[in-house]
Structure 1
Amino acid sequence: MSYQNKHIAIPRVASLLNLLSFILNAYSKLKRSHLWICSRLKSPLLLIIFSMLSANGLVITKVNASESKNTISTKASSEIEIKREYLQHIISQQERLVTSLVNTPFMASYVSKNEVLARESLNELFLTAATINKHYMQVRFIDGHGQEKIRIEQSTKGLAPIVVKKEALQNKSAREYFSETKKTPAGGLWYSSFDLNRELGEIEQLINPTYRISSPVYVDGKFSGMVIINLDMTNVIGYLTESTDFLVYLVDADSEVLIHPDPKKSWSKYLTGRSKYQEVAEKESINYSQSLEDIFKNGEGIRIILKPLEATPSLAPTKNQ
């Protein structure tokens, strides 16, 4: 688009310059002749010259503004597409692992026969999954009554993942992810909200943004439990919001702010004293937005919004917390 604008505008500018050259030559000849003494001729000529210079500047300004807008739009589209591909890769990887853990033969043996060897094998598989991907906050098997049976979680000290002891396992029957996964047909997947991790029903003090994918385990047609992975979204957020040209927001369908360039304004749905995304105010500047619902698949209607940095000079990008 900018290429076309350049080649449409240049002939116009060239024509103006040629006309201006003609006028200046005429001006020079008149000044050397006795006709220049006629003051009536001065004003019209000067007016024409001034008008041509103004028109020339106006055309160039409009071309530059159009080129700048097209460049920003192209950058925004490219960035959004790259970020979408990255997010799709991360979530697809999580989907495949959940499905694999549900379908492993050890799962059926453990659930139907409660075999010790099968349970140990499952523990090893879950532990390997968490070890390979450090962004998996938790990898769990929860039985048909909502009781955690296998729980692997990342060490808070950056060490190897931990196999949680039996006495520390919790009952999760009251949690939404259990009740919703229980209603999911065999082979299906359930997707949680993109929210903050909770332990014992409370949001952790050091907030942990998380996204969960689960799948039910059926044995002989009966719901017998579920596999669920909690993905630590901290690094994902870091990648999605990294930009040299834009401020990046993630907002849901209710205009609740999930991610804001100012971390103190993120998570308006879960933390008190934080406002929703100001749709009206943001329309004062050019924004570029696209839905991410086809990737998150959780019904939140999450969308990514890019705002050119020059539109908000008072707010520089900051690292999300």
Structure 2
Amino acid sequence: MIISTVGSHSALQILYGAKKESFSTKVYCLKGNEKLYRRYPVADQIVTVDSYIDLLDIKYENEEIFVPHGSIISTLEKRALDIPIPMIGNREGMYWEMVREKNLELLKKANIRTPYTYKPEEIDKLCIVKFPGAKGGDGYFLCSSYQEFEEKIGELIKEKKVSEEEASNAQIQEYIVGVTMYPHYFYSPIYDRVELLGIDRRYETNVDALGRLSQSHSKISPTYTVVGNQPLIARESFLHKLLDYGDLLREVSVDSFHPGLIGPYCIEMALTDKEIVAFEFTSRIVAGTSLYISGSLYSKILFDEEMSMGRRIAREIKLAKEQNRLDDIIS
């Protein structure tokens, strides 16, 4: 059996984890990017493509399972659902992730607090403007009025950083002042349980550097492009809340897109001194899991061995194959 993925995002971790579970591995990468996977030999096969669109007609092997991640969502968007290779997880969950209205709907069904959303003409407080797709915060901006919104979004369109369509689908949310946190969940159909395997927070440019500047530079506009991730250990007294949120989201997902969230998922949230506010969920592996290629505190306790998210995916595939239950974990 072969585990494959696209050469970007968290591919090194995914393929390394697959090899730890004795699978053959394959990476599909854009021409010119294959040298990375030769220097870090996690892929038994390297298949180059001119464009990610080529994946929609790719010829794949028997007993090949594909692990989706953020790069195919940001580049192919909804077309990613048409990749013909059997995927770990639920494609319908990926659709709910990509459509922001659906994304927030699922969080609200789970009674998880989400930011208030506004129409442009309703902006009367500090808001953050986001665009569709898994683009790592690229293009996000702050504004406090309709006029400021129009000015900033007009600049982005003029500079071709966002399209007219993306601008019309922009999501305007109240800005939450708090500590961001990204818990990594895994729902196992084999064990019928939700596992919390790690937590990270993102390092974003330039907003995470502005605090080091003097007040004289306070007029610099913050940007929110993700450039890396940092490990985070939550206070132990707070873990039950994170576990509850993971359980709740999984439970409501079953009714929304049966059989619900399968495999890795994440809730992107911020913690204030009063509450937890969730921005969105992702229905696949997130890049911050690569921090824990040798496992985290939580995965070590659960498995008593080195268990990354990539390896956890491969372990679930192995167990499902042994029990003749692959149909329970792929779509």
TM bucket normalised to smaller: under 0.3
The structure richer in strand per residue is 2
- TM-score of the two chains, using structure 2 as the length reference: 0.25
Q: Per chain length, whose mean CA-contact separation is higher, i.e. which structure has more relative contact order (CA < 8 Å, sep 6+)?
A: 2
- TM-score of the two chains, using structure 1 as the length reference: 0.25
